[in-house]
C-alpha cells in the first residue's frame, strides 16, 4: 500500500517520460523539450543532454555511459564525453517512431516502437521489438507486438516483460544467453486498463502507469491487481527509487499532444511513498 499522498517533485516540464533511478538520481526524458534530465530525490535537477530529436528510453552500459533512444530518427545513441554518437540505426527494423527501452546488465538494449503513425490517426498495426548489442549489432527479436512500450528485466535476468499499450496487456519472454526471446506468454491481461511505462519492485510485482485511466497500478502475476493510485491526470511512466527504494516517481501531464504540451508545460514528476522497495 502507498504510505503517503502524491507530492510534486518537479513541475513546469513539457512531457516527462521513461524515468529510471540510477546512481543516486532519477533520470528521465522530457520528450517534447528534447532534453534528458537527472534529479536528486529532493528535486535538484540538471539537464544532462539536449538533443536535436525527441529522446525516448534511457539506460546505461556497464561502464556507465548513457544510452538514449532517438525517437523520430529511430536510432540508439550513446553519450561519450558530452557528445552523442550513433550506436545503431533502427530505421529498417522499426516501422515508426522508436519509444521506450530496457538495458540489461551486459549493456544489451531492447527497444520498442510505435509501429504506425499514432498522432496522424493511422490504423493500428503490430510491430517489432529490436535488440541492440553494445557493439551496435541489432536485430528484430520479437514481432507482432501491439505498441510495445515500457519494459523491465527481472532481477535474475531471465525474463523480459513488456507493456503492450494497444494490446492492454503485459507480455513476458524468457531471455536466452544470446539475447533472443522465447516462451511468449501473457504476464497480465490488464483490460480495461492501458499500460504505458512500468517498473518492478523487490517482490517481483510491477507498477504500471495508465495514461487513459489516470493512475498507476501494482500488479502481481499470480494474483492480479494489488493496488491502484489515482493520480487525477494522465500518468505515462513510473520508476521506483530514492535513497531507500521506497519512493515511486510518476511522470504525469495533462496531455500528450506536442503542441499542447509545449505551450502549457503541465508535465510533472510526482512522488508517493510505497511499502515494497525497488
Per-residue pLDDT of 83-100, as tens digits, reads: 999 999 999 999 999 999
Is 37 in contact with 53 (CB distance < 8 Å)? Answer: no
Query: Is 90 exceeded by the pLDDT of residue 217?
Result: yes
Residue 88 is predicted with a pLDDT of 98
Measured over the CA atoms of residue 70, residue 73, residue 76 and residue 82, the dihedral's sign is negative
Could you tell me which of 269, 149, 127, 146 has the C-alpha nearest to residue 206?
149
Q: pLDDT tens, 139-186?
A: 999 999 999 999 999 999 999 999 999 999 999 999 999 999 999 999
Write the DSSP symbol of residue 101: E
Structural contact between residues 219 and 179, judged by C-beta atoms closer than 8 angstroms: no
Reported as a pLDDT band with limits 50, 70 and 90, residue 55 is very high
Q: What does the domain layout of the chain look like in residue ranges? A: 7-273
pLDDT reading at 137 higher than 80: yes
Instruction: Write out pLDDT tens, residues 194-209.
Output: 999 999 999 999 999 9
Region 37-65: mean pLDDT is 98
Question: Rounded CA gap, 176 and 157, in Å?
Answer: 10
127-132 β-sheet, strand order: 98-103, 109-113, 127-132, 138-145
Q: Is 258 helix (H, G, I), strand (E, B) or coil?
A: helix
Q: Cell numbers for 101, please give them.
A: 527501452
Q: What is the pLDDT of residue 204?
A: 96
CATH code of 7-273, in short, is 2.120.10.30
Q: Please, what is the end-to-end C-alpha distance for the chain in angstroms?
A: 14
What integer pLDDT is reported at residue 181 of this predicted model?
Answer: 98
Return the closest-CA partner of residue 243 out of 25, 88, 10, 87. 25
Amino acid at each position: 500500500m502507498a504510505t503517503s499522498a502524491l507530492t510534486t517533485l518537479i513541475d513546469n516540464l513539457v512531457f516527462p517520460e521513461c524515468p529510471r533511478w540510477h546512481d543516486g538520481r532519477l533520470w528521465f526524458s522530457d520528450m517534447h523539450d528534447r532534453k534528458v534530465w537527472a534529479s536528486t530525490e529532493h528535486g535538484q535537477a540538471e539537464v544532462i543532454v539536449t538533443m536535436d530529436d525527441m529522446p525516448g528510453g534511457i539506460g546505461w552500459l556497464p561502464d556507465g555511459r548513457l544510452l538514449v533512444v532517438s525517437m523520430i530518427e529511430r536510432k540508439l545513441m550513446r553519450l561519450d564525453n558530452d557528445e552523442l554518437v550513433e550506436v545503431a540505426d533502427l530505421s529498417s527494423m522499426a516501422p515508426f517512431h522508436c519509444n521506450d527501452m530496457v538495458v540489461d546488465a551486459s549493456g544489451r538494449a531492447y527497444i520498442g516502437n510505435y509501429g504506425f503513425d499514432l498522432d496522424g490517426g493511422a490504423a493500428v498495426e503490430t510491430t517489432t521489438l529490436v535488440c541492440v548489442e553494445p557493439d551496435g549489432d541489432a536485430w528484430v527479436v520479437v514481432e507482432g507486438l501491439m505498441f510495445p512500450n515500457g519494459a523491465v528485466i527481472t532481477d535474475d535476468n531471465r525474463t523480459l516483460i513488456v507493456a503492450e499499450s494497444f494490446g492492454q496487456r503485459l507480455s513476458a519472454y524468457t531471455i536466452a544467453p544470446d539475447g533472443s526471446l522465447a516462451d511468449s506468454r501473457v504476464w497480465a491481461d490488464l483490460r480495461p486498463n492501458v499500460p504505458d511505462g512500468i517498473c518492478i519492485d523487490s517482490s517481483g510485482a510491477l507498477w504500471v502507469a495508465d495514461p487513459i485511466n489516470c493512475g498507476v497500478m501494482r500488479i502481481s502475476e499470480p494474483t492480479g491487481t494489488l493496488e491502484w493510485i489515482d493520480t487525477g491526470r494522465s500518468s505515462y511512466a513510473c520508476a521506483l527509487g530514492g535513497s531507500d527504494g521506497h519512493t515511486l516517481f510518476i511522470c504525469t501531464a495533462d496531455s500528450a499532444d506536442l503542441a499542447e504540451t509545449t505551450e502549457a508545460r503541465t508535465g510533472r514528476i510526482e512522488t508517493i511513498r510505497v511499502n515494497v522497495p525497488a
